[in-house]
């Protein structure tokens, strides 16, 4: 079964327009509505307004009724895993159990430099991501957690309330790291979000998916237990958009996340995506 989500940008846009896009996603029947987790706008020009992703998710939880919500992806280095577990559980309660938890290794040299925070090496970031996945599972499912890792340590940690979703919300992990990142995905993810840049050739996405299958075999996990997701900029031409979506589905990606490709009028682009949704369902 193919799911289709909408990921309108939260940069260079006002709150009123964002509320409209959430209503569109909820009313049109999209499966998910997503945000991102960056302190500065993404793209070649990294200036201008951008809103905090997890604050928006709390608002989305109240503004919508049925669509699932989440962040693709939260930067792991942005928050301590104990803090992150609490924030996510809170949003899961606000939404009535509609949260998908997206997480990646994090690291943004521009905003790290702005804020005076270190940017760990890629290896350390992936190690931290793996430890965080373990910690989240423990905090969300056990009365008390003691954990000793290379990068994090918890002693008798409590984290209540537990999420609405039991045993825990679905975990979407974003990575394209062939040696270490996809190993963490194989160990912990419910959904793998390919973290390659939008526009990456389908053949390369398929190759990385096969690498994930190999890691699953190594850790003793059925590759079919991990759904495959891809996010992509939605062409304005409907036939081109459908052909692109079909190519991803044929490549084994069942979770499609549409990024409306309009900076000038995101609401109109989201409405156009909503009109296309029934045909996208046929592709699935």
CATH code at 201?
3.20.20.30
Tell me the residue range of the domain where 27 lies: 3-283
> Which residue stretches of the chain have pLDDT < 50?
none
The verdict on pTM exceeding 0.85 is: yes
Name the 3-class secondary structure at 64. coil
Provide the pLDDT for residue 210. 96
Do residues 281 and 30 lie in contact, with contact meaning Cβ atoms separated by under 8 Å?
Answer: no
* Closest of 57, 44, 64, 51 to residue 14, by C-alpha: 51
Provide the pLDDT for residue 263. 59
Provide the pLDDT for residue 130. 98
What's the whole-number average pLDDT of the chain?
A: 94
Dihedral in degrees, nearest 10, Cα atoms 282, 186, 171, 143: 150
Q: What is the pLDDT of residues 42-77, one digit of tens each?
A: 888 899 999 999 999 999 999 999 999 999 999 999
Structure tokens at 248: 């991803």
Q: Using omega within 30 degrees of 0 as the cis cutoff, is the peptide bond preceding 246 cis?
A: no
Provide the pLDDT for residue 44. 84
Distances from the Cα of 47 to the Cαs of 12, 40, 44, 50, 118, in angstroms?
9, 7, 9, 9, 21
Provide the pLDDT for residue 261. 65
Q: What is the pLDDT of residues 245-269, one digit of tens each?
A: 999 999 999 999 999 865 568 999 9
Beta strands 145-148 and 153-157 are antiparallel
Beta bridge partners of 146: none
Provide the pLDDT for residue 45. 85
Beta bridge partners of 193: 174, 229
Number of domains in the chain: 1
Q: Any idea how long the chain is?
A: 284
Beta strands 255-260 and 3-6 are parallel
């Amino acid at each position: 079964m193919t799911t289709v989500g909408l990921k309108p940008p939260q940069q260079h846009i006002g709150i009123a327009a964002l509320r409209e896009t959430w209503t569109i996603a909820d009313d049109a029947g999209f499966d998910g509505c997503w945000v991102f987790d960056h302190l500065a706008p993404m793209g070649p020009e990294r200036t201008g307004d951008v809103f905090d992703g997890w604050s928006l998710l709390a608002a989305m939880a109240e503004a919508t009724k049925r669509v699932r919500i989440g962040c693709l992806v939260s930067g792991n280095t942005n928050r301590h895993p104990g803090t992150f577990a609490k924030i996510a559980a809170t949003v899961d309660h606000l939404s009535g159990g509609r949260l998908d938890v997206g997480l990646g290794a994090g690291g943004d040299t521009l905003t790290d430099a702005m804020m005076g925070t270190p940017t760990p090496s890629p290896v350390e970031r992936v190690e931290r991501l793996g430890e965080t996945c373990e910690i989240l599972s423990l905090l969300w499912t056990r009365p008390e957690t003691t954990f000793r890792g290379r990068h994090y340590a918890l002693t008798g940690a409590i984290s209540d309330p537990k999420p609405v979703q039991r045993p825990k919300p679905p975990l979407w992990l974003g990575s394209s790291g062939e040696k270490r990142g996809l190993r963490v995905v194989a160990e912990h993810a419910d959904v793998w979000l390919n973290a390659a840049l939008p526009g990456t050739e389908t053949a390369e996405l398929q190759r990385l998916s096969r690498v994930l299958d190999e890691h699953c075999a190594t850790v003793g996990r059925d590759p079919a237990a991990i759904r495959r997701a891809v996010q992509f900029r939605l062409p304005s031409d409907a036939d081109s958009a459908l052909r692109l979506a079909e190519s991803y589905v044929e490549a084994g990606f069942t979770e499609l996340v549409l990024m409306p490709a309009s900076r000038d009028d995101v609401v109109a682009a989201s409405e156009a995506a909503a009109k296309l949704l029934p045909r996208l369902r046929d592709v699935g």
